[in-house]
Amino acid sequence: MTTFTHTIDGVAESSDQHFDVINPATAAAFAQCPSVSRDQLDRAVAAARSAFESWSKLPPAVRREHIANFAHGLAAKIDAIGPVLTREQGKPLGQAKWEIGGAVHELEEMCKMDLPYQLIRDDGKHRVELIYHPIGVVGAITPWNFPIILAAHKIAHGLYAGNTMVLKPSPYTPLATLLMGEVARTALPRGVLNVVAGGNEVGQWMTEHEGIDRISFTGSVPTGKKVLASASGTLKRVTLELGGNDPAIVLDDADLAAITPNLFRGAFLNAGQICMAVKRIYAPEKLYEPLIEGLAKLAQAHRVGDGFEDGVEMGPLQNKMQFDKVNAILEDTKKHSGVRVAAGGHTLNRPGYFIAPTVVAAPHDDMRLVREEQFGPVVPVMKYRELDDAVRRANDTRFGLCASVWTTNPPKGAEVAKRIEAGTVWVNHHVGSEADMPFGGFKESGVGRELGAIGLASYLEPQVVKVPLA
Ligand code: NAD
């Protein structure tokens, strides 16, 4: 049985306390994970602080080479880490390997851009420059849906900017991330990337910690609010990548045959457990029934099962809490008059946290399924008459992460996209991140951005230097 360890100052460490890691496809524990102690966390922070002295002074091109080295090390371990990710997270093995491959790609791509610099003024009297310093030690906290790629986003820009890091994954999916730490032991100078696992209390220790200067958090809205409150004690720099309730608006000129498979993928990839999944669909009256029929057909044909079974396209919900939450939302949905479950609507009769891909014809916007972030394989489709009404309903939410518009007329789609209150709006696409596109939310979906030039700048402290020339 594999033994999993933290990486603290470039060295493997276990802990006195351990906790079970559950395979969501069986609901049974399959591994033990060490639970970092307060003293170990303090040592990880101290190691990062000590490594910061030399790491922050390296030329960015040298840091880029180190990060590329780390990316190569990760690429070499895809076949070893992929099965661990499937076992702890539930996603099909091919998708687990695809996630790790994506992380390798992002680590390389995100470090290609230059660090920011601006000559503000050089008018013969003064030279005024805007330069950027690394902030210090970053505390990175990740959720359980995409533990590897979300960690890679934080590692790439956090380290490339000259900071060092303590990374803590979710207690539901800690193991693949601990294996990333193993890669760091040989690929990066010691102390630059420390990886520790533990319960939610470790996240709180990090957000309060005087030795941590910046928090990069990805998770739910309620936890994000706690992080912001807790980080205020030391006025840490904070970015929050939080939940979403993404609307997809289908325009009346849409070609259903072309868009339905993409809409389906946007809603059901990773069993719907994606911050930026399609979570509500608004369809015009004339396309409403055919769209529901098309989505329901795909849902019925979608192969659900253990991520190690051949041909499986969708795994279970990642944990019991999420499984119970989605089931409760489903039960609430069925109580509403006029609701029609066009596909799925039930759990699978086997161990594990499986829910069949579910498509709901939903006549009301005030149901939990429409108002809340379901974060599961259940999507409601709502009807609209006037486009203005669809846009108003799409914006009638405290969330504002992503959205999409589906049409055969992309310029018209772009006009509608600009009216939606969300950090990213795609036309004829939904779900995905790219190294040069800043990602984050309006409203309660987050604070700040990751990725792109804005994301990189968020790991730096700007400084104005004004010098007289006379
Ligand atoms: P969560 O908020 O429960 O946990 C996220 C992380 O926070 C975990 O590592 C957890 O241990 C830690 N944590 C818990 N309590 C803490 C505290 N008081 N202080 C500091 N850290 C604490 O989220 P989750 O259930 O793991 O993930 C699902 C949520 O994440 C969904 O809402 C989803 O939309 C969101 N998400 C957002 C993005 C994005 O980029 N916007 C990406 C993926 C997931």
pLDDT of amino acid 470: 80
**Could you tell me the two tokens for 405?**
């518009």
pLDDT of amino acid 270: 98
Q: Which of 404, 400, 403, 402 is nearest to 446 (CA)?
A: 400
125: which residues sit within 8 A by CB, 6+ positions away?
A: 468, 469, 470
Span from the CA of 292 to the centroid of ligand 1 (angstroms): 32
Span from the CA of 145 to the centroid of ligand 1 (angstroms): 9
Ligand 1 site, residue 141, Cβ cutoff 6 A: yes
Mutate to test the pocket of ligand 1, among 99, 106, 142, 145 (most ligand atoms within 8 A of CB): 145
Ligand 1 site, residue 241, Cβ cutoff 6 A: yes
Is 151:176 a contact under the CB 8 Å cutoff?
no
Given 33, 111, 275, 402, the catalytic residue: 275
Task: Indicate which residue's Cα is closest to atom 23 of ligand 1.
Answer: 219
Mutate to test the pocket of ligand 1, among 89, 223, 447 (most ligand atoms within 8 A of CB): 223
Nearest ligand 1 atom, CA 206 = 20
Task: Indicate which residue's Cα is closest to atom 42 of ligand 1.
Answer: 275
Q: Which of 116, 102, 108 is nearest to 454 (CA)?
A: 116
Catalytic-residue membership of 275 = yes
69 CB-contact burial (10 Å; exposed 0-12 / middle 13-18 / buried 19+): middle
Nearest ligand 1 atom, CA 439 = 40
Span from the CA of 130 to the centroid of ligand 1 (angstroms): 34
Catalytic-residue membership of 111 = no
Span from the CA of 222 to the centroid of ligand 1 (angstroms): 9
Nearest ligand 1 atom, CA 446 = 41
pLDDT of amino acid 1: 65
Across the chain, which has 470 residues, the per-10-residue mean pLDDT values are 93 98 98 98 99 98 98 98 98 98 98 98 98 98 98 98 99 98 98 99 98 98 98 98 98 98 98 98 98 98 98 98 98 96 98 98 93 98 98 98 98 98 98 97 98 98 96
104 CB-contact burial (10 Å; exposed 0-12 / middle 13-18 / buried 19+): buried
User: Which residues pair with residue 19 across a beta bridge?
Assistant: 33
Sign of CA dihedral 437, 100, 25, 171: negative
Q: Which CATH superfamily is domain 6-242+444-468 in?
A: Aldehyde Dehydrogenase; Chain A, domain 1 (3.40.605.10)
End-to-end CA distance of the chain: 71
pLDDT of amino acid 378: 98
Nearest ligand 1 atom, CA 222 = 2
Ligand 1 site, residue 226, Cβ cutoff 6 A: yes
Ligand 1 site, residue 220, Cβ cutoff 6 A: yes
CA–CA gap between residue 381 and residue 247 (Å, rounded)? 10
Q: Where are the alpha helices (DSSP H) in 31-173?
A: 38-55, 60-75, 78-89, 93-110, 147-160
CATH 3.40.309.10 in the chain is located at 246-434
Distance from the Cα of residue 329 to its chain's centroid: 22
Helix (H), strand (E) counts: the chain: 15, 20
CATH 3.40.605.10 in the chain is located at 6-242+444-468
Span from the CA of 219 to the centroid of ligand 1 (angstroms): 2
Is 249:403 a contact under the CB 8 Å cutoff?
yes
367: which residues sit within 8 A by CB, 6+ positions away?
A: 332, 333, 336, 339, 380
Nearest ligand 1 atom, CA 243 = 34
Ligand 1 site, residue 184, Cβ cutoff 6 A: no
User: Under CATH, what is the fold of the domain 246-434?
Assistant: Aldehyde Dehydrogenase; Chain A, domain 2 (3.40.309)
Task: Indicate which residue's Cα is closest to atom 18 of ligand 1.
Answer: 204
Mutate to test the pocket of ligand 1, among 150, 218, 329 (most ligand atoms within 8 A of CB): 218
